[in-house]
Amino acid sequence: MNLRLFSSTFTSLILSVSISAQTQIYDIISKKDTLGMVTVSKSNKENITYYHYNVDMTAKLLINVHMKYMIKATYVSGYLLSASVQNMVNGKPYHSNEINWQDTYYSITSKSKKQQKVLEKINYSGIRLFFDEPREIKKVFSEYTGQFGNIQKINANSYELTLHNGKKNKYHYHQNILEKATINNSLIHFDLILRK
């Protein structure tokens, strides 16, 4: 085997087993002001999918509030295996969750609440809204709250998510990717706009 053929074969083999990754950045906009950004990524390796979500924003309420928010989630064969949530406000821990599949249920551990159990296997959680248009999805699990919300199509490629507390968010897609979201479940209302 000559060197060129070997090199080509070796490169093809490496590429076929490497992780395919996708990253998107969103601006957080409220009343025409840019408050920060959201970076999301999705990577696949065989039947495992890794999601990562990172928010860095500053909002002016009575004082400046700097928020950092991170989610990591792992799916295996289309179902949530584990997720972690870390939320910091002005440099101090504010909220955290650890979600883990325990063979027959999910355990949700949070510093602020007693341990919860979710018996239903989760195939679609909030982090997937960025990468996978929820065409046939009726329920979305929130990694942050540990609760399910209901989602419905409102027109072509647009969906409305009703959260467990009754608040509603809207999501608009183009070619399966989230292009814009209107978020109403926070202290402030804002839009997430995909950078192009």
What three-state secondary structure class fits 16?
A: helix
Q: Which of 144, 115, 133 is nearest to 175 (CA)?
A: 133
Joined tokens for residue 22: 């996708």
Q: What φ, ψ does residue 6 adopt, rounded to 5°?
A: -60, -45
Give CA–CA dist 137/74, Å, rounded: 19
State pLDDT tens for residues 137-180: 999 999 999 999 999 999 999 999 999 899 999 999 999 899 99
Give CA–CA dist 158/47, Å, rounded: 28
Give CA–CA dist 80/138, Å, rounded: 16
- Report DSSP state, residue 127: G
Joined tokens for residue 153: 């199509």
pLDDT above 90: residue 6: no
- Is residue 140 within 8 Å of 134, Cβ to Cβ? yes
State pLDDT tens for residues 92-135: 999 999 999 999 999 999 877 788 999 999 999 999 999 999 99
The backbone region for 56, taken as left when phi is positive above 0, alpha when psi lies in -120 to 50, beta otherwise, is: beta
Task: Give strand pairing partners of 126.
Answer: none
State pLDDT tens for residues 16-34: 344 568 999 999 999 889 9
